[in-house]
Amino acid sequence: MPSSHSALPSPGPVRLGPDARAALRPAVAGIDAGFWHTRREVNARTSLPQGPGLLESAGNLHNLRLAAGTAEGEFRGAYPFVDTDVYKWLEAASWQLARGREETLAAHVDRIAGLVAAAQQPDGYLNTWFQLRENGKRYEDLRWGHELYCAGHLIQAAVAHHRTTGRTELLNVAVKFADHIDSVFGPPGSGRPIDGIDGHPEIETALVELYRETGERRYLDLAGYFVDRHGHGLLGGEAYCQDRVPLREATTVEGHAVRQLYLLAAAADLATETGDTELGAAAERLWHAMTTTKTHITGGLGAHHDREDFGDPYELPNERAYCETCAAIASVQWSWRMALLTGEARYSDLVERTLYNGFLAGVSLDGERWLYVNPLQVRDGHTDPGGDQSARRTRWFRCACCPPNAMRLLASLEHYLATSDEGGLQIHQYVSGRYAGGSYTVRAETGYPWHGSIALTVEESPAGRPWTLSLRIPQWCQEFRVRCGERTYDQGDAPVTDGWLRLTRAWEPGDRVLLELGLEPRLTAADPRVDAVRASLAIERGPLVYCVEQADHPGGGLDDIVLDPSRPLAVKHRPDLLGGVTTVVAAGRRRHIPDAGWWPYTSAPAPQGGEPVELMAVPYYAWANRVDGSMRVWLPTC
């Protein structure tokens, strides 16, 4: 199989094809210390190893055995997509195996991949729900059946397994299923019996990757067919299913957030592989519409619990933010593909914000519990609904899409951090480790995001040929300084274009660059059309969004506090707290609200004054790891 990067470590989730029209090509960052290393170790040591047991007790593996005829009993699970929990775990474990042979994990992967293979039907079809519960009916309920969605996750798992282990057992299963799908689905006149799409996009981006892995062009064509058949009413025309309007004509993101985002990841893939500029332009347009009007400050996406969908422009509620963990993951996947396609730094700005906030909040510090929805507020007196939509961390969900999805992103995170092109190496995200792309290798040491210094050392460089080391200056960054050889630049004179600080020279091994990003804490306001946060401010520091939690404010709730924005913010690193976090303390008051009788609406002047109170803020990603209680990202100023 062709690859221009055959000398590099095994590629990650996105491996560009030989004809790809990408501005940038993925590079790898071997993370070996610091913030994300810690999170990945928790993933490797706790979350991933617990997967097989959870999949067993939830019934997912049992269903595969039933389908294979090697067990007896009833189908277990409430959804037609329960197989994907297995596939996403297999994908996550496969990425993990790339980091070194782990015998126990490898044995689980072999065993579970074997269960998957055994459950496949002779013609390639595989979906335990339909095989076992629907009497073998196929493709009769494309709106809700998730059969192609499941196939997509199987394909992604198989590609990961093949890429990291070189093994073909799972890839053969995926290819057989993909060939089956290709024999069934196609446009009128293609000779295929069904002109249809899946209500939940996912197969599309998976098929592009299968094309990239196998070189088989049919899969790319099938992906393009599926993407373009969305929006033509084949499923009834609902936005929920991404069927109201074709992507090429859409003006904003809409419907079920995860469905929209997976579809857009495929659009970016297709634009990259085929040079389809119209599709690329549509993806850029929709990304802009999303970030300007439908994205929470955490990078979280999805405004409605009901139907899990995007809301209207600027409809960004706090306590009812949906912000599904899977939507954050899908957003990273899409934005990363946009970064590769266009080379623009803003896509990685959103990736950074999402990783550190909207995504990571979904994973508990101990790696054992999860949030499906990621609200920006939990009220005093909150009555928790329990279940999947709980604001309390949960061991596993009835619809367990998020946990293994988070595992696969964490296990493959080194592939979302850097790129290369003919002119050099681009560092998108700052970690301690070794960035390697093309013929360039750079070593980084940093205490980011707690500290703003990133020390970079060139390790490998083509001899005597100048190239450009590009460093992303984050969108949130107001002040920075960079020392490169004899020169020191700051935000006033540094060679920054569209978010990229570009340092060009004939680098030699041992050359050093010191980037210092200013991490002064800041108070952030929203566009005034975001009604939900009017006259409120959020605390941020570096890439981190902060929140206040009940646990740090004993003796009262959080719904009566008021921030005083005129007072300075104080920063304190607390190694003892929440695995080690930098806290930000703001001044405020706890207002005294007089008893207004039975009706809380009045023409009387608002109550002023109140007790002074220190508002201690912790990073949002770390919330809900102590006692249950209220929480706020946005702090009222009146």
User: Which residues bind to a second copy, rule: CB under 8 A?
Assistant: 239, 252, 254, 287-288, 291-293, 295, 297, 304-307, 311-315, 317-320, 346, 349, 377, 379-383, 385, 389, 475, 478, 522-532, 534-536, 538, 559-560, 591, 593, 596, 598-604, 606-607, 634, 636, 638
Strands 581-590 and 424-427: unpaired
Q: Which entry of 150, 323, 401, 547 is annotated as an active-site residue? A: 401
To the nearest whole angstrom, how small is the minimum distance from the Cβ of residue 292 to a second copy? 6
In the bound state with a second copy, the residue whose beta carbon lies nearer, of 28 and 530, is 530
Smallest separation, CB 536 to a second copy (Å): 7
Please name the residue ranges forming H helices in 120-256: 128-132, 147-165, 169-184, 203-214, 217-229
Question: Quick check: 431 and 29 in contact, CB under 8 A?
Answer: yes
Helix or strand or coil: residue 502?
Answer: strand
User: Smallest distance, Å, CB 410 to a second copy?
Assistant: 25
> What distance in Å separates the CA atoms of residue 448 and residue 273, rounded to the nearest whole number?
34
Q: How far is CA 457 from CA 7, 378, 471, 483, 619, in A?
A: 21, 44, 13, 12, 30
Using the minimum distance from each CB to a second copy, give the nearer residue, 32 or 315: 315
**Distance in Å, CB of 235 to a second copy, minimum:** 15
Nearer to a second copy, 178 or 338 (CB): 338
Given the residues 202, 308, 324, 540, select the one marked as catalytic. 308
Q: Which is nearer to a second copy, 216 or 540 (CB)?
A: 540
Which whole-number Å values give the CA distances from 72 to 67, 108, 117, in the listed order? Answer: 9, 22, 18
Q: In the annotation, is 401 catalytic?
A: yes
Q: How far is the CB of 428 from a second copy (least distance, A)?
A: 16
DSSP per-residue codes, 58-73 = HTHHHHHHHHHTSS-S
- In the bound state with a second copy, the residue whose beta carbon lies nearer, of 129 and 634, is 634
Phi, psi angles (nearest 5°) of residue 564:
-100, 100
326 in active site: no
Cβ contact 29:428 at 8 Å: no
Signed CA dihedral, 509, 27, 41, 157: sign only: negative
Nearer to a second copy, 277 or 608 (CB): 608
When the beta carbons of 483 and 522 are compared against a second copy, the nearer one is 522
Report the nearest approach of a second copy to the CB of residue 3 (Å).
33
Determine the length of the chain: 638
| Distance of closest approach, residue 402 Cβ to a second copy, in angstroms | 18
Residue 500 tokens read as 């990229």
Residues 279-284: contacts with CB under 8 Å, at least 24 apart = 279/227, 279/247, 279/248, 280/341, 280/342, 282/247, 282/248, 282/249, 282/250, 283/247, 283/334, 283/338, 283/341, 284/338, 284/342
- Separation CA 501–CA 283 (nearest Å): 25
As annotated, the active-site residues are 308, 401
